[in-house]
Structure 1
């Protein structure tokens, strides 16, 4: 019998990876649906599914009765003993640690508020949660992926204004030398998930924007982030769309950030800069229907949001713009002002059919989903599957 060459093994891996990547984005498909989507013969799909079941990468489960004639086809799902990724979400108020399986389902989850925002305190608490997750789930944890409200370069937080961090390495969160550690801006990762499995699914070029404390986001093309040479791209809130006399905590002046969030609305009302801009924005939005001053502050932030989005559409040419966080609230509270600012900022040739502005469908969970997607991008590779196969073989040998 001819021994398989490296090329033959690689071709088999590529077929398996195509199946796993499709399952990750569309869990619950049947074998026949998978074959049609990937243009596989029935025999090839059967062989690939059988192989991946042996490797504990996927499983088939009975579908719920549909009420029609015949037995429903089983659906493909993540294997109950299959690979997981550990996802961390660090915001200005709290942390979350979750284990996520193929397909995006969260299988374990813990969370808490920051008692102390100093980097060592936050990272020590999160590191202990990652270690506990790994003790419970062992070799199944294949990567750690961190979403953080910060400007990120590699595995370093360059600056996180809301946390007060500068030049903080997140390497202490790597549980072992052979476990990949990925770090990304939370808004960028939310945009990745929104483009792949949320409101932007099926659209080739998606611009995602979120407003919490300032503006973040990312451009996603063909399901891939365009986040720059070092991962620090997408800091749209620091474009000079704002008042050049205002200095931003980032060190620049005139940042768009300073016109669209709770800080901007508080400043418009003559109030001091709030400790929690998101909560301040919620209070002002709630007061706007009965308070003309609050209404004016909301309208001003909404126009500034729309105008900035118009500028980004001119520069980046997306087919769709997805919005999350306070951007959704402003669009709901002041739709005319957002639209007026948007159209005023657009080049005239775009105004006939501008890219739609649509709310996120994933909401706050987008950060977790995006970080998981980024991690599975490293797991669902030829080296990643070979590593899983070796690890699974060792576990089986140890059990016999």
Structure 2
């Protein structure tokens, strides 16, 4: 009994070491074995043993590092194994879809995109189901998970509502390529925030808040690299807090949503124009013309002030170290920085004003949702259960 317990303990420690080094390889592409050993507090012997195990499991390999100009051979770096696991990431926006296949370390090995066909959700899902099935047909069990970022409110694998696209109650289960393959679905802004916290401007912060403005406002709070997305995955719908005009009805069913105060609909309303069919494109036009058009500049300034007030309220409530901004939010900062920063500061509690969390532009931009979907998929692989399932494919 004692021998079995000791053997189990050794096996557990080895598995934990493999998982820790694999996570390091994923988070720090092209790190050397020595880098990983220092970061994880391992001896060189333990690092060598774990590296050998990673190679045997087809999870990583060591390749020649870049020339540094110094003497001697450069240290080999740990990279994804050429026959190792992959994930499929998908982003569904208001106008187009994007898809990519990604390996450990975050490198995109294949990418595809297209305009959303007319006719609602079904034609879009039909296209994506075919593309995902083709990827699974090419890679087989190497494809370990499918992760979808969508411009809508999500609960588990169902799009509860994507008002901008007119989608309600759409289950994405048909996108699962094979029984047992994990299928993850998340809001696009939340996925973008996850990517920004791990590989973008928010990297290194323990608590960061990400906000994006496209058609309305979305975002997520990230704590220790993990999104705080609620009990069912529907968290982060910041745009549906009542920071806007309470007389306005939102397509979500609530009134006075912040969404209606900061995007192309708000700017068109301020200019006396009808509600645009495509608020994102309309906002882009108004921001572009703001430099030479005082009315457009005033409309952008009002939207920027509404954005700043809401950001201040969220900072008071959530206490992030920094706030990352993407989409039209970055455009509003560039066009009307005085209005946005003034409203942000005025909304903060007094004790925060001397050293407020900085508002920083996204480093990943429009690729954030897709890269975040990939990160969420790799979270299923980089776990005890994920590695055990992968090991089963090697026998």
- TM-score tier by shorter-chain length is over 0.9
Match runs of 1:1-400 below 5 Å: 5-393=7-395
**CA distances 1:100-140 after superposition (whole Å, capped 9, x unpaired):** 10011110111110122511111111000000001111111
Instruction: Give the gaps of 5 or more residues in structure 2.
Output: none
Match of 1:396 in 2: none
Q: Distance in 2 between matches of 1:338 and 1:280?
A: 20
Q: Distance in 2 between matches of 1:89 and 1:291?
A: 35
Q: Distance in 1 between matches of 2:43 and 2:71?
A: 25
Pairwise CA distance, 1:348: 1.1
The question of whether the paired residues in 2 share the 8 Å contact of 1:10 and 1:382 is answered with: no
Q: Distance in 2 between matches of 1:241 and 1:166?
A: 24
Which segments of structure 1 move beyond 3 Å, counting only runs of 4 or more?
1-7
The question of whether the paired residues in 2 share the 8 Å contact of 1:157 and 1:167 is answered with: yes
Q: Distance in 2 between matches of 1:118 and 1:269?
A: 30
Q: Distance in 1 between matches of 2:305 and 2:99?
A: 37
TM-score, structure 1 normalization: 0.96
The question of whether the paired residues in 2 share the 8 Å contact of 1:117 and 1:163 is answered with: no
Q: Distance in 2 between matches of 1:365 and 1:274?
A: 25
Q: Distance in 2 between matches of 1:382 and 1:63?
A: 29
The question of whether the paired residues in 1 share the 8 Å contact of 2:99 and 2:370 is answered with: no
Match of 1:397 in 2: none
Pairwise CA distance, 1:6: 3.6
Equivalent position SS for 1:220? strand
Q: Distance in 2 between matches of 1:193 and 1:339?
A: 25
Q: Distance in 1 between matches of 2:5 and 2:301?
A: 70
Taking only aligned residues, the RMSD between alpha carbons, in angstroms, comes to 1.2
Equivalent position SS for 2:129? helix
Q: Distance in 2 between matches of 1:36 and 1:105?
A: 24
Instruction: Give the gaps of 5 or more residues in structure 1.
Output: 394-400
TM-score, structure 2 normalization: 0.98
Equivalent position SS for 1:263? helix
Equivalent position SS for 1:116? coil
**CA distances 1:316-360 after superposition (whole Å, capped 9, x unpaired):** 010100000000010011111110010111111111110000001
The question of whether the paired residues in 1 share the 8 Å contact of 2:305 and 2:342 is answered with: yes
Q: Distance in 1 between matches of 2:6 and 2:57?
A: 18
Matched residues, number:
393
Q: Distance in 2 between matches of 1:305 and 1:137?
A: 44
Q: Distance in 2 between matches of 1:157 and 1:5?
A: 46
Pairwise CA distance, 1:9: 2.1
Q: Distance in 2 between matches of 1:392 and 1:70?
A: 37
**CA distances 1:169-209 after superposition (whole Å, capped 9, x unpaired):** 01111111110100000100110111111101111000000
Q: Distance in 1 between matches of 2:170 and 2:33?
A: 46
Q: Distance in 1 between matches of 2:350 and 2:304?
A: 21
**CA distances 1:252-271 after superposition (whole Å, capped 9, x unpaired):** 11001001011100010011
Q: Distance in 2 between matches of 1:285 and 1:205?
A: 31
Q: Distance in 2 between matches of 1:243 and 1:5?
A: 65
Q: Distance in 2 between matches of 1:368 and 1:392?
A: 28
Pairwise CA distance, 1:33: 0.5
